[in-house]
Amino acid sequence: MASSSTTGTAASSQNPTISRWLTVLLAFACGLIAANIYYAQPLVGPISTQLNLSEQASGLIVTMTQLGYGLGLLLVVPLGDLFENRRLAVSILAVGAFGLLISGFAGSVEPFLAASFLVGLGSVTVQILVPYAAHLAPDAIRGRVVGNVMSGLMLGIMLARPVASMITYFASWRAVFYLSFIGMVLLSAILRFTLPPRPVVARLKYHQMLASMVHLVKTTPALRRRALYHASMFGAFSLFWTTTPLLLAGPRFGLSQKGIALFALAGVAG
């Protein structure tokens, strides 16, 4: 009986498990991190004005963040299969936090755009935490856990705009980046000391992982279709939320940052 009990304990300790509070923490973390990508969208006007960036080139503020995020998805996220996930997530998050700090201090266009790239790159931490949550969850509740974490991520995306506009209305656009930097530092510490480690045993080398993605695209028509669908949706989404604040703040509507915040808040319901 002692032997059987020991065997059962060992087996249960190997099974993945995730508590409710840890699920909430991961959902909160993903929302807070994902919001960093979208803070600048409703602030394109005041940022461009203060940094002397023309209206025609103001889209670069959003483009550089998305470029960093896209390259991070392609080149950084695969590292989650090679390195211990908690350490990797905290390390990449530190890159984003540094970008936020530089964004707040930037006095000219060039450092701000470079910092925006780092913010996007650091935000791919969410795509390390979501598979991490899936790994911790037992099969029976894995879908629910991933759904909850993704819900936190989506709330972060939608709430980022009204929050950024409201902070700018009462303070300045720089305060948005300062506060987010402080939030990322605190979040890094919390994740570092609360998340259980997840060591990985890689069967492929890094270059083989990148090559395997090319193979998947070539041999999986459904993947190509889904990529096209979502690229189109995300493109339309980004275009709308980049240009709409400029239109709302223009002479036709004359909305303040508070008005833009309320407009963006209505989008959260969707």
* Type of residue at 124: V
Q: Are 47 and 172 in contact (CB under 8 A)?
A: no
Class of domain 18-268: mainly alpha
Q: What is the mean pLDDT of residues 170-197?
A: 96
- Which is nearest to 173 in space by CA: 56, 260, 64? 260
pLDDT, tens digit, for every residue of 87-136?
Answer: 999 999 999 999 999 999 999 999 999 999 999 999 999 999 999 999 99
Phi/psi region, residue 254 (left: phi>0; alpha: psi -120 to 50; beta: rest), is left
Vertex 258: Cα angle to 257 and 259 (nearest 5):
90
State the residue for tokens 């029976």. Answer: 140
HEC assignment per residue over 61-127: HHHHHHHHHHHHHHHCHHHHHCCCHHHHHHHHHHHHHHHHHHHHHCCCHHHHHHHHHHHHHHHHHHH
Q: What pLDDT does 12 receive? A: 39
Vertex 100: Cα angle to 95 and 46 (nearest 5):
150
Q: What pLDDT does 196 receive? A: 93
The CB density around residue 165, as the number of other CB atoms within 10 Å, is 30
pLDDT, tens digit, for every residue of 41-98?
Answer: 899 889 999 999 887 788 899 899 999 999 999 999 999 989 999 999 999 999 999 9
Contacts of 266 (CB under 8 A, 6+ apart): none
- Output the CA–CA distances (angstroms, integers) from residue 145 to 10, 52, 164, 193, 199, in the order listed: 24, 45, 28, 21, 20
Q: What pLDDT does 26 receive? A: 97
Q: Are 181 and 100 in contact (CB under 8 A)?
A: yes
Contacts of 192 (CB under 8 A, 6+ apart): 86, 90
**pLDDT at residue 13 above 80?**
no
Vertex 128: Cα angle to 23 and 223 (nearest 5):
110
How far apart CA 141 and CA 40 sit, in angstroms, is 36
Q: What is the mean pLDDT of the chain?
A: 90
How far apart CA 129 and CA 118 sit, in angstroms, is 18
Vertex 172: Cα angle to 167 and 175 (nearest 5):
70
**Domain residue limits, the chain:** 18-268
Q: What pLDDT does 270 receive? A: 73
How far apart CA 144 and CA 134 sit, in angstroms, is 10
Q: What pLDDT does 8 receive? A: 42
